[in-house]
Structures are given as C-alpha cells and as structure tokens.
Amino acid sequence: MTKIKKNSRRKFVKRLATSSFLAGGGGLALLAENPKVKTLQSRAPYAANDQVNLGMIGMGIQGFGNARTAVKVPGVKIVGACDLYQGRLTRSQEIFGKDVSITRSYQELLDRDDIDAVVIATPDHWHQKIAIAAMEKGKAVYCEKPVVQKFEEGAALLEAQKRTGKVMQVGSQRVSSIVSQKAQDLYHQGAIGELVLVESWIDRFSANGAWQYSIPTDASPETVDWETFVGHAPAREFDATRFFRWRNYQDYGTGVPGDLFVHLFSGMHFVTKSLGPNRIYATGGLRFWKDGRDVPDVVIGSYDYPESEHHGAFNLQMRVNLIDGSGGSSQIRFVGTEGVMTWNGNSLKIEKKVLKEAPGYGGWDSYATFSEATQKEYEAWYAKEYPAQRAKIEPGNMEFRAPKGYSDHLDHHTIFFDAVRNNTSVVEDVAFGLRAGGPAVATNVSYFEQRAVHWDPKTMTEVSTGKKKRQKK
C-alpha cells in the first residue's frame, strides 16, 4: 500500500488546535463570518497631498466597473477618461462629473503631468502596448487581464516594468480576496493533505454572459474611432458588432481562456503558490452561440503541473461553457489526499476524508479469490501487520465566509492605490499576471493548432519539442 505523508496532517491538526477555529464531530464548523477578519475597506480619508489622480483608458463594461470601484477608495479622483466611442465619453462625464476631461487618444491622456496612474480596460490586443507606453510616461498601471493577447508579448512587458520601476497590477481581483488568503493559509497548513488534482470551471447561461453585448443605436464611423480600435489587427471596414462585441473575435480578444480561464489560473496559483503548468492541452468547440464569432463557446483545458517547493506534481482540469442549461456556476476544487477544499465566490469549504492506514480486505479485494487456507494465513498476517488501534479524532468539515457585502474588487483597488502612494510591490504584478495569462492564451494555441503546448513556468515561454506544429484549418 502506498503510504500517505503524515506531516501535512499533523501540522494542520496542531495549528487547528491552537487557533480560534471550530471543528470536530464530522459536522460543519463555521470558520468565520468574523468581524475580526482584516479587510481593506474601511480606510481613513487621505490628506489632500496624498490624492491619486486617475486616468481611465477604456470605458466599456469593465472600465466603468473599475471606475466606480476606484472612487470608493479614499483619496482617488478620476480626472480623465479615454474611449473610442463618443457615447461612453459622454456617459463618463454624466457619472463622474463634467470636470473629467475626455479624449479618444490615450497618448493625450498619458501626456498629462497631473495623472498619477491609469486603468487600462481596452480590448486585449491593446493591453501590452498601452501598458508599456504608460509606464514609460511615469504612470502606475492597473491593467485588465490578460495582460497580453499573445504570450510572446510578455518579455517586453516584463522588461518595461523592470526598466521603469513603476507599479503595475493586473485586474484579477480574487487574488486580493480575504477568501483566497484563507484558502492559501489552510492549504499550506496541510488542511487537505497532498494536492493531487484541481477542478475548476466558470459556466454561464445568458446572452450578455456569452458576450452578446448591447450595441448602441448611434454606432457609426462618426461616433466610433474604428481605425484606432483595429490597431495592428487586420484591416476591415467599420463593423459595429466587432467593435462592441470584440471578445468574440481572435483579432482583438482572447476568447474564453483570456476572459475567464485567467481568473481561475490566478486564484489557483495564489492559493498554491504555483508558477504554472509545464504542459497544456485544450479541446472544445462552438456549440451554440453561432453568431459569426470565430472563438469557441465551450473550452476544456487539461494542465500538468510539475513538482515545486510549494506543492507536489498535480493535474488541473478547467472548463468554461457559455450555454450551461443548469444556469451557470463557478468553482475551484482543490482535491487532496485527505480532503477537498472548495472555493466558491466569497465562501470556502473544507471536507475532510482521511484514508485509513490499514488497506482492509474483502469486498473490492483479491482476498476473496484466495483458497480458504491462504485466506486464513492472510488474516493472521494482516492482524500482525495492522494491529487494531484506538480511533483517532479527526478535524471535521469547516467553512469560511467573507463578511456580508464584502468586495474583493474594492480590496484589489485599495491594494493598488496603496502601492501607488508608497511605491511598494503588489502580489499580482506583471510576472504573476503573465504566469496566469500565459497559460490562458497558450490554451488558445493548443485549441486552434490542435496540439499540446509545452510551457516553461519559470521563464513564461513556450518550450520547443522539435515536433512539427499543426497549421490552422
């Protein structure tokens, strides 16, 4: 019988016994909806000279979401907004004030000396270029995920951040969640033993969730700067559908992996302290949303994670289905040798199931196929090899919940603006973002080229195997 490592179990039980957590009896113990849980959402107002002047680049769905969250952080003021559709610029002033300057040129916004930081929430194919330009202009950068459209863009982004020394944070907010911190603590205390498998998914069941975003009635070449939007993508005539539903097209977006897989990678990497997989394979297809898009609406990824100083080798299964008839859901399940830790939004649950040291016999065992004489000999051997022991009290199931009304998005922005003021580091920096975004966009390579991608999680680059790559059909 394979021996399960005992160290993780002993370490977890010891820490559990000295903590304020509740456990036992095999029932559910509530770890917290705890008023002592530390969040960043009740900061004192900052002095006037600590104010951070913020420029918004991209005022679509995520841009407005970021803007609304940013102004909740004391001492943050939006002074400029950039977008390529005039209606969003008008709406920016309607919500954030007429004193917010508006422009279609991100270069014009970056040229302003009074702007300390920018939020980049543009289509994916503009992320890297604008982020580098912003850091070179001395701005701190909050950039939506994924930080790159193609993983080959990562090296230049890393170099720019290192050269300029500017703060840059990627916008996968679950990395800053108190739930993810609790998951990290419990995982590394050995709450589920040795990690074997991670199962994760984000499924949706709505037209908007499948990126069929609303298209304004006044969309036209006059109200939209189409040429700038296209950028380095292939030239096309004006197409309002492509502009407002850009996630559906490879020219501008990164499809399911770049929009949703990257969140799962970010959260899982934070909890396990993993650098990433070394082998990536994806399958899927366009099953329902056949609206002219050229990206799949179902993607299933399989990833091999090598052993590291923080975890043993394990496998990751990841899925997104944009037409989930059950209504949609999101979850990350960390499956270990002694239990399962399930992370679902603002809640975390641990279910313990410890494998017995004695393997047992009978039932699902070859013992019953032995001769009667051999069975008796085996029983005598078994009794000597596995003497009866007193039952041990194992910790029961546990659950952690964030306080009611908690927002990881607000904590994520608070961490960013603290770093801007103090020129300190952030967890989800360029390297962290690339270690999540790289495997995400490499998933697209695997899907479209119908091959496995071999990945170096340390250098964040593809590893050549010498095998001929399949061409796109």
The pLDDT value given to residue 37: 45
Q: Which of 127, 156, 174 is the endpoint of a domain?
A: 174
Q: Is position 422 within any domain?
A: no
* Residue range 413-440, pLDDT digits in tens: 999 999 999 999 999 999 999 999 999 9
Give the separation between CA 204 and CA 259, rounded to whole angstroms.
13
Are both 160 and 303 inside the same structural domain? no
> H helices of 97-126, where?
106-110
Domain of residue 68, residue span = 48-174
Last residue of one domain, picked from the residues 148, 174, 200: 174
Query: Does 104 score more than 50 pLDDT?
Result: yes
d(CA 170, CA 143): 5
Give pTM, 2 decimals.
0.89
Shared domain for 224 and 351, answered yes or no, is: yes
CB 65 within 8 A of CB 71: no
Least confident of 161-170, 206-215, 327-336, 376-385: 376-385
Mean pLDDT score, 324-330: 95
CATH of the domain at 340: 3.30.360.10
Residue 414: inside a domain: no
Confidence band (pLDDT; 50, 70, 90) for 454? Answer: very high
Cα 275 vs. chain centroid, distance in angstroms?
Answer: 13
79 with 126, same domain?
yes
- pLDDT computed for residue 153 by the predictor: 97
Residue 362 lies in a domain: no
Residue at which a domain ends, from 174, 197, 213:
174
If one counts the domains in the chain, the total is 2
Question: What is d(CA 255, CA 452) in angstroms, rounded to the nearest whole number?
Answer: 18
Q: What is the mean pLDDT of residues 198-208?
A: 97
On the question of pLDDT at 21 being above 80, the answer is no
User: Is there a single domain that holds both residue 87 and residue 203?
Assistant: no
Q: Give the model's pLDDT for residue 466.
A: 65
pLDDT at 29 (0 to 100):
44
Packing angle, helices 408-422 and 61-70, rounded to 10: 70
Quote the mean pLDDT of the chain: 89
In this prediction, residue 468 carries a pLDDT of 55
In the structure, what pLDDT confidence band is assigned to residue 473 with cuts at 50, 70 and 90?
very low
Q: How far apart are CA 53 and CA 108, in angstroms?
A: 15
Same domain as 218, residue 324: yes
Is pLDDT larger for residue 27 or for residue 61? 61
Percent of the chain with pLDDT over 90: 80
Query: Regarding predicted confidence, which is higher, 153 or 387?
Result: 153
Query: Is-contact 80 106, C-beta < 8 A?
Result: no
246 shares a domain with 99: no
The predicted pLDDT at position 196 comes to 97
Please list the residues that pair with 276 across neighbouring strands: none
Residue pointed to by tokens 């004489």: 373
Q: Is residue 302 part of a domain?
A: yes
Same domain, 205 and 290: yes
